[in-house]
Structure formats: C-alpha cells, structure tokens
Structure 1
Amino acid sequence: MFDPKAIEDIATKLSGALPPGLSQFKDEMEKSFRAILQSALDKLDLVTREEFEVQKGVLAKTRSKLEALEKQVAELEKRLPVSTDQET
C-alpha cells in the first residue's frame, strides 16, 4: 500500500498548482486528486520500502546459502572416484 501521507502531499501540491481563477474549486479538486491518485497507485500493486528491504534481505541470505551449497557440491564431486568406463 502506498503511503497515505505521500498521496496527501501530492494532492495538495496539485491543487496548489491550480490557476488563481480555479481556487474556489481547490478543496473539491484536492479530494478528486487524492481519489484518483489512490486508485491509480492501488492498481500498480506496489510494495512498501520496508517490504522491499525484507525481500532484499531474504534474497541475499538465499544467495549466500546457494553459494555455500554449490561449493559443498563441488567438494563432494572432487571426492568421487574417477571412472574410466563410459556408459552408453
């Protein structure tokens, strides 16, 4: 979910950018901007920075484990007897 405070700030900036002749519609426009932004951002299926950082940590840990397992497999393969017979 997108930060509601950020949506509020963007809506306020957009309504503040309205020409002076439209200032009478400022509150109504700000509510409309907020609703449109929220709807558009909800459709994007975004993750929060916190969720992203958690997944980044999980990925780093998984990558580290994978590298350790690859190293372990390579060591075990070195210990296997070399076969001169080829199977067909």
Structure 2
Amino acid sequence: MIDSKIIDQFVAAVTRALPEGPKGFEKNLRAAMQGVLDRMQLVSREELEVQEQVLSRTRARLHELEKRIAELEENLKKK
C-alpha cells in the first residue's frame, strides 16, 4: 500500500498548479489517485527492502545446502 503522504503531496501540487476548480475536486482527485495506485499493486520501499533481505538469506541458505549436498555426494563416491 502506498503511503497516503505521497498522494497528499501529489494532490497538493496539482491543486496549486490548477486554477480554482469545482467544489470537491481535491477529494475526487485523491480518491482517483488512490484507486490507480491500488490497482497498480505497488509496494512500499520498506516492504521491498524486507523482501530483498529475505531473498538474500534464502540465497545464502541455498548456497550452504548446495555445498553440503556436494560434500555428501563426494563422500558417497568414496565409499
């Protein structure tokens, strides 16, 4: 979910750039932006960083397991 501060900043910038619009314009723009961003299924920077850490740990564990399997296969060949 996108931080509502980003949407608020965008809406504020747009409303400053446009002349006085119809009543409720800001509210409708905010709702439209939230809808668009929700449909895009974006994630926050924090969520991305957490997933990067999980992936890094998973890769490290996979490397350890591959090394262990190679050692076990080598031991089987020796026997």
Please say whether Structure 1 and Structure 2 have the same fold, judged by a TM-score greater than 0.5. Answer: yes
Offset of 1:81 from its aligned partner? 2.7
Deviations for 1:44-64, whole angstroms, at most 9, x for unmatched residues?
Answer: 112221111111111100100
Is residue 37 of structure 1 aligned with residue 22 of structure 2?
A: no
Q: Structure 1: any 5+ residue segments left out of the alignment?
A: 83-88
* Partner Cα separation in structure 2 for residue 27 and residue 49 of structure 1: 34
Give the number of the structure whose alpha-carbon radius of gyration is greater. 1
So what's the TM-score if we normalise by structure 1?
0.78
Q: Structure 2: any 5+ residue segments left out of the alignment?
A: none
Q: How much identity, in percent, do the aligned residues show?
A: 44
Q: Which of structure 1's runs of 4+ aligned residues deviate more than 3 A?
A: none
Q: In the alignment, which residue of structure 2 is the partner of 1:49?
A: 45
Offset of 1:33 from its aligned partner? 1.4
Q: How does 1:64-83 map to 2 (within 5 A)?
A: 64-81=60-77
Aligned residues: 78
Q: Secondary structure at the match of 1:2?
A: coil
> What is the letter of the counterpart of residue 74 of structure 1?
A
Q: CA RMSD in A?
A: 1.7
Q: In the alignment, which residue of structure 2 is the partner of 1:17?
A: 17
